[in-house]
Amino acid sequence: MKKLFFFIFLVSGFCAEFSAQNFSDYSVRNAHSHNDYHQPIPFWTAYYAGFGSIEADVFYQNNQLLIGHDPHELTSDRTLEKLYLEPIAVLLRENNGSIRADKMEKLILFIEMKSDYRSELPALVRLLDSKYQIIIQNKTVKLIITGNVPQPSEFKNYPEYLFFDGDLTKEYSPDQLRRVGMFSAPLRDYTKWNGKGIMRDEESAKVREAVRQAHLQGKAIRFWGAPDFANAWVNLMDAGADFINTDKIPELAAFLNQIPKNEYRSHTSFEAYHPKFPKFKTRAKNVVLMIADGVALPQLYAAYTANRGSLNIFRMPYTGISKTNSANAFVTDSAPGSTAFSSGVKTNNNFVGVDPQGKPLRLLPEILKEKGIVSGLISTGDVTDATPADFYAHTDNRDDSRAILQQFADSGVKILAGAPAVELSEAEREKFKSQKINIFSNSEIADFQGERALIMDPLASKNFAERGNWLINTFEKTLKVLSRNKKGFFIMAEASRTDINLHSNEFGKMVDELLDFDEAVGRAMRFADENRETLVIVISDHETGGVTLLDGDLKTGRIFAQQSTNDHTALPVSVFAYGSGAERFVGFYENTAVFYKILNALNIKP
């Protein structure tokens, strides 16, 4: 996004202060409650949502300032005093002279003169002077007169505590400009845009110029009559509007509150691996299955954008689409999702390595072991998470971590690496020892070359910022050891925290996780080029978050997204393949087909 200026009225008072900004500069304090009196609970809904600006329309009738948009809406019990001035005064008393508990925060009250300011304004001044000194002497509340406002030459006729809505088509003397509280402009004067897509370039330029003109005069600006939904808010922020008008308080509040989690700005990037596309052997000897939990095409494209238009995954030439539903649900969870990959059978949600009746299934590592092929499982979750467990355990309860981990001893999987799930008893440790399984709590010092290894490293399940290169380092160590097996190997490597962060609506952290995963994908592709008989597959078990990409910049690595849920969705997921047998993964198919395609690539009958 191009640099623009942003009015910081919250931290530095109501003076003009501007800085290069991004969406993360916006908060609910930049929200303006348009026609606030139409809300079910006027004033308080916007106030408790944290809005920085609230608008009330007034008519002067029967010696009262009545609230409403049109005369027919007016009733004697809906007055400016009752709905707005009294609540503000109560808050100022409760907060010891501040509008909010945080004394640095401000509130703007727009009071729109709906008929004749010559009668309405004097009535307002009389009311404020006689009963609301606590408001007019307060620096955390700003009163701006809008609607039918006096000419600039008349500003001096009214008390200094009143400010006026500015008009960009007028010129103001320095004294008059001092009384302008903000500039407001009808968006329709600049564009016919309906809020969908983006504005035409020439119209966007007009809007940005209006913002620039307001900022040059040291004032904030808002556009009224603007479309009122997420895409429109994004475009108005992108244009530099300081306040976003809305009639949808809960929706805009939720949108703005999520910005810190939904905007990602890349500070570094890496060069994706350039595959050599050698002549691969027809039959694969080795398979690397890489599962990005919760990831579908929107998440992948976000990572591609964040890395400034480069991603290892997108350099894999064979692509497909996999259905994700489970045996008993349109929306799957990870347990049946990866069981489909490990067994070729659709099972129920929560079921690990068993069919819908709870009968244990023959899993891929078991089948491969019979052919002398060794297996390793890696996860940035714990070692009993559903995805790795699907390749070595059998249970109808994915949460039974202790029972799942005990089954590793009899699974025949050579390496299992992830975070600890349970504290092992001495008897459990002895059982593992009897199966020649070495247990390690640190991947860096773990001996992967022994008979078998169980690495339960607490670092594994940390977010990338804390975990660092754990995934790629563990993957490379596993690859180095297993590739010595003459009959081949199978590695399943899972990015678990992509899904975990999507469940928490931590979009930015998900992008970090996916970029880390993609570097491991690049390492697998390099090995495939060198080895020429290795198949690399990238897939997900399901999509999480219902991610929508609303804005971004491929040059700077900036991406802005929105999630529709904090849970799984039914979206199909993308499949990418490279190396020996990769051509088998083209098309649209059930997730169970992945199992059969892997065996077919290895020339093994199920």
Where are any strands of DSSP class E within 211-316?
A: 221-224, 244-246, 263-265, 286-292
User: What band does 2 get if pLDDT is binned at 50, 70 and 90?
Assistant: very low
* pLDDT of 342: 98
- Confirm if 497 and 461 have CB atoms less than 8 A apart: yes
The two tokens of residue 210 are 């209006």
CA-nearest of 54, 144, 130 to 91 is 54
* pLDDT of 545: 97
CA-nearest of 98, 111, 183 to 137 is 98
Residues of the chain with CATH 3.20.20: 25-265
Q: Higher confidence at residue 144 or residue 4?
A: 144
Q: Higher confidence at residue 5 or residue 598?
A: 598
User: What band does 447 get if pLDDT is binned at 50, 70 and 90?
Assistant: confident
- Name the percent of the chain lying above pLDDT 70: 97
Residues of the chain with CATH 3.40.720.10: 286-602
Mean local confidence (pLDDT), 79-95: 98
- Confirm if 41 and 58 have CB atoms less than 8 A apart: no
The two tokens of residue 417 are 């690496």
- Residues at the binding site for Zn(2+) are 293, 499, 503, 541-542
Mean local confidence (pLDDT), 574-579: 98
Q: Point out the least confidently predicted range of 114-118, 487-491, 576-580.
A: 114-118
Pick the CATH number of 25-265 from 1.10.3210, 3.30.70, 3.20.20, 3.30.1540: 3.20.20
- Confirm if 208 and 4 have CB atoms less than 8 A apart: yes
The two tokens of residue 391 are 């390749």
Q: Point out the least confidently predicted range of 15-19, 310-314, 491-495, 509-513.
A: 15-19
* pLDDT of 13: 39
Whose tokens are 């699907």? That residue is 390
Summarised one tens digit per residue, pLDDT across range 301-350 is 999 999 999 999 999 999 999 999 999 999 999 999 999 999 999 999 99
Q: What CA–CA distance (Å, rounded) separates 339 from 346?
A: 7
- Residues at the binding site are 293, 385, 387, 494, 499, 503, 541-542
* pLDDT of 3: 36
* pLDDT of 443: 86
User: What band does 448 get if pLDDT is binned at 50, 70 and 90?
Assistant: confident
Burial 220-254 (b: 16+ CB within 10 A, else e): bbbbbebbbebbbbbbbbbbbbbbbbbebbeebbe
12, pLDDT greater than 50: no
551 strand-pairing partners: 560
CA-nearest of 441, 467, 584 to 520 is 467
- Confirm if 141 and 106 have CB atoms less than 8 A apart: yes
Mean local confidence (pLDDT), 156-164: 97
Cβ-based neighbour number of residue 115 at 10 Å: 14
Mean local confidence (pLDDT), 425-440: 90
Mean local confidence (pLDDT), 111-131: 94
User: What band does 597 get if pLDDT is binned at 50, 70 and 90?
Assistant: very high
**CATH T-level assignment (fold) for domain 286-602:** Alkaline Phosphatase, subunit A (3.40.720)
Cβ-based neighbour number of residue 130 at 10 Å: 8
Pairing of strands 543-544, 568-569: antiparallel
- Confirm if 133 and 126 have CB atoms less than 8 A apart: no
C-alpha to C-alpha distances, 579 to 267, 279, 364, nearest whole angstrom: 32, 9, 20
Summarised one tens digit per residue, pLDDT across range 221-238 is 999 999 999 999 999 999
* pLDDT of 9: 39
Mean local confidence (pLDDT), 387-406: 97
Q: Higher confidence at residue 431 or residue 141?
A: 141
- Confirm if 513 and 294 have CB atoms less than 8 A apart: no
- Residues at the binding site for Mg(2+) are 293, 385, 387, 494
Helices (H), 383-504: 386-389, 401-406, 426-434, 464-467, 470-482, 497-503
449, pLDDT greater than 80: no
Q: What share of the chain is helix, strand, coil (3-state, %, to 5)?
A: 35, 25, 40
* pLDDT of 115: 87
* pLDDT of 5: 34
**Catalytic residues, which ones?**
334
Q: Point out the least confidently predicted range of 48-57, 308-317, 418-427.
A: 418-427
Task: Evaluate if pTM is beyond 0.85.
Answer: yes
User: In sequence order, which residues have a C-beta less than 8 Å from that of residue 146 and are 6 or more positions away?
Assistant: 55, 110, 111, 112, 113, 164, 165, 184
Average pLDDT, the chain: 94
Summarised one tens digit per residue, pLDDT across range 267-306 is 889 999 999 999 999 999 999 999 999 999 999 999 999 9
For the chain, the first-to-last Cα distance in angstroms comes to 52
505, pLDDT greater than 50: yes
